[in-house]
Structure 1
Amino acid sequence: MSQPPRTILYTGKGGVGKTSVAAATARRCAAAGLRTVVLSTDPAHSLSDSLGTPLGAEPVAVGDRLWGQEVSAQEEMERNWAGVQDWLGELLIARGVDRISAEELTVPPGMDELFSLLAIKRHHESGEYDVVIVDCAPTGETLRLLSFPDVARWWLDKVFPQQGRILDAARPFARAVLDVSLPGNEVFDDVQRLVRNLIAMNEILRDNERVSMRLVMTPDRMVVDEARRTFTYLNLYGYLTDAVVVNRVFGEEVGDYFGPWRARQQEQLEAVRDAFAPVPVLQAPYFEEEVVGGAMLDRLGDALFSGDDALPAQAVHHATVSERLELGADGATLRLELPFARRGDLSLKRLGSELIVRVDGHKRTMLLPPALDDLHPSGATFEDGALTITFDAA
């Protein structure tokens, strides 16, 4: 049996060049002799424009050992959710909702992207590719739905075995008293299939030897803050971030007009290095023309992956999850990887949702998740290149 493909998921705020970075990575992997597919799960597809080739819902050859795909959320929903849509749509229409609104309401927010991500599972199972590059939607919110396999398994083990018995008992009551039709087996088949797919996708995405996330950003404060927030959640859910990409960085040649802007970018670059360490920071310049088509994508790929170390595009640049959070009944423990720091003076300071950590001159600023809103740092220890912080109730 062939090993699973190397899979890289690019995510980030809209407008930072995420699609270009994904396409450039794919072209570089294909040029290295790897069978590569790059797919967009973003509902507002722009991968066709980036590659300069029309794409469809199935992989299309766009070069030697390179395929492109713009996943159709509608087709994926019809494949995975048709039974639920039909039942819930008719139920809403019977309650006076117009048909168009009913069709929209049968798909919860974020589900279209979730179904699109299931295309990754099919590519993993096909054995047709060595590398899978994913251009995700602008935020990583949908990844939360893939983060709770234990809950999904509980549904499979406890709820679904009882569904037939419960429905048989409830149908007469529902018809006579509630005047509603309960879902048939095809609806539960869809839900059960979705739950199994969520469990399988979770296992795929947590394979840190073969799968990683990469955050794309520009060196602008609001964009960097959003990336930091996403980085925290990816870590806490156990997803590996093996690199971050800072795109559209002004060079020294920009002159006096853009000089102050470049100075602010340099400040943000330093903040990025502090916030994401020890994850490598890849950097690309602000090119003099739009990054569209093979030639410009290759220039972008050269900038990102041909520095002093000539990093292969598909390599895992960082191999461990940098932050781990364990929640207890009365508190929490947060473990931060700080391999370049040494034991020395240690200080913690919390400002709202930010935690500022200083160890022997190294500073790390991270955005804390809402789960820690009512807790305060009460102690810290530094051992074996890792800082462990305890949180207690005030």
Structure 2
Amino acid sequence: MNELVNQKVIFVGGKGGVGKSTSSAALALACAKEGLKTLVVSTDPAHNLGDIFHKPLTHEKTQLDDHLWGIEINSTKETERYMDQVKSNLQGLVKTKLVDEVNRQIDLAAASPGAEEAALFDRLISIILEEQDSFDKIIFDTAPTGHTIRLLSLPELMSVWIDGMLQKRQKINENYTQLLNDGEPVDDPIYEILQKRKEKFSAVRDVILDEGKTGFIFVLIPERLPILETKQAIKQLHQYHLHVRTLIVNKVLPETADGAFLEKRRQIEKQYLIQMDKEFKNQEIVKIPLYEEDISDLDKLDIFSKHLQSKVKEEVK
């Protein structure tokens, strides 16, 4: 499980209800227990991190334990902030009489598909680029699978889009220079803004695509639908050169679980575990047992984290 030691940025994804947030929290706690300064960040609109640690979390860093800090990104507020930034960038670039109409169009764009992902990704970029030198580990607890794939595919898609915009803008500037500006180069604030965005996307893209810096972990349970969804997600991420190397299989029935009902469940579960070994030969599988009680406080989370912490110690050795 090299992600626990060697890679600075870790994304934890998976189907809803399989224990992503608990796994992210346990992984973060395991790293912190090993003395690694760790930041755990929730990008899931249905935040659970604060509830797990019994501390209110905001968009700013909050200390959760020794060597451990947490952030919950509010997608609504991030979208508002992102759109306000767009408006700010356009100040002085449009005629005064058009400002109200431009702002109205931006407000409408905030409700369009993809606006929330763009805002979340902008915040994610900032966290990675601004905090990577301050922390040994940055762990992202992401939303359910489809949302995660859209979020992680944005560096590739946005880079292509910005390249296209820059080319168009450059052509306009060249025409303006030749025809209207007596051959003198023109100052173009929009081009400068796009260029800065490109540099920012490029920097975070380099981090995300670097397997020495960034790892992807998927959480699932030994049931048919999570296995199918995880298989599809791994395939889709692979198309964007993002490779899932580790799977956390949560809620595996322990041998001590007794009774005819649980024995029948265990036999079904064994078939799914065998299927996982066949389907996910390129991934390391870490099995976490089903506990008698919910992970409802730090003591119970610590029990979960010890399974992962043992992996950290193995890799350190």
Into which bin does the TM-score normalised by the smaller protein fall? 0.7 to 0.9
Q: Report the Cα offset of residue 77 of structure 1.
A: 3.8
Cα distance change on mapping 1:106 and 1:262 into 2, 3 Å: closer
Q: For residues 276-295 of structure 1, what are the structure 2 equivalents within 5 Å?
A: 276-295=280-299
For residues 308-339 of structure 1, what are the alpha-carbon distances to aligned partners after superposition, in whole Å with 9 as ceiling and x for unaligned? xxx217959xxxxxxxxxxxxxxxxxxxxxxx
Q: In 2 relative to 1, CA 122–242 (structure 1 residues): closer, same or farther, beyond 3 Å?
A: same
- Tell me how far apart the structure 1 counterparts of residues 314 and 206 of structure 2 sit (CA, whole Å): 20
Residue in 2 aligned with 1:351?
none
1:110-259 to 2 correspondences below 5 Å: 110-118=117-125, 119-124=127-132, 127-139=133-145, 140-141=148-149, 142-148=151-157, 151-152=160-161, 154-155=163-164, 158-162=167-171, 192-252=195-255, 253-259=257-263
Residue 259 of structure 1 deviates from its aligned partner by: 2.4
Higher relative contact order (CA 8 A, sep 6+): 2
Identify the residue that residue 27 of structure 2 maps to in structure 1. Answer: 25
Instruction: After TM superposition, list the pairs within 5 Å mapping 1:1-394 onto structure 2.
Output: 6-84=8-86, 91=101, 103-105=110-112, 108=115, 110-118=117-125, 119-124=127-132, 127-139=133-145, 140-141=148-149, 142-148=151-157, 151-152=160-161, 154-155=163-164, 158-162=167-171, 192-252=195-255, 253-306=257-310, 311-312=311-312
Cα gap change, 1:5/1:265 in structure 2, threshold over 3 Å: closer, same or farther?
closer
- Tell me how far apart the structure 2 counterparts of residues 221 and 55 of structure 1 sit (CA, whole Å): 34
Aligned-partner SS, 2:111: helix
Aligned pairs, number: 289
Residue 6 of structure 1 contacts residue 132 of structure 1 at CA under 8 Å; is this kept in 2? yes
Structure 1: unaligned runs, 5 residues or longer: 169-184, 317-394
Given that residues 42 and 113 in structure 1 are in contact (C-alpha distance below 8 angstroms), is that contact kept between their aligned partners in structure 2? no
Deviates further, 253-262 or 59-68: 253-262
Q: Which amino acid aligns with 1:40?
A: S
Contact 1:84 1:106 in 2 (8 A): no
The answer on whether the counterparts of 1:152 and 1:198 sit within 8 Å (CA) in structure 2 is no
Q: Is the 8 A contact 2:57 2:70 kept in 1?
A: yes
Distance of aligned partners of 1:248 and 1:158 in 2 relative to their CA distance in 1, 3 Å threshold: same
- Richer in strand (by share): 1
Distance, in Å, in 2 between the alignment partners of 1:259 and 1:208 is 40
Q: Shift of residue 105 of structure 1?
A: 3.0
More deviation, 152-161/80-89: 80-89
**Equivalent-residue separation in structure 2 for 1:45 and 1:188 (angstroms):** 37
Shift of the 234–281 alpha-carbon distance from structure 1 to 2, 3 Å rule, reads same
| Percent identical | 26
What TM-score do you get using the length of structure 1 for normalisation?
A: 0.64
Q: Counterpart of 1:286 in structure 2: which amino acid? A: L
User: Which runs of 5 or more structure 2 residues have no equivalent in the other structure?
Assistant: 1-5, 91-97, 178-187
Q: Is contact 1:211–1:240 with CA below 8 Å preserved after alignment? A: no
Asked whether the equivalents of residues 43 and 73 of structure 1 are also in contact (C-alpha less than 8 Å), the reply is yes
2: CA distance, partners of 1:84 / 1:108? 12
Pick the structure with more helix per residue: 2
How many Å separate the matches in 2 of 1:105 and 1:190? 22
RMSD between superposed Cα atoms in Å: 3.4
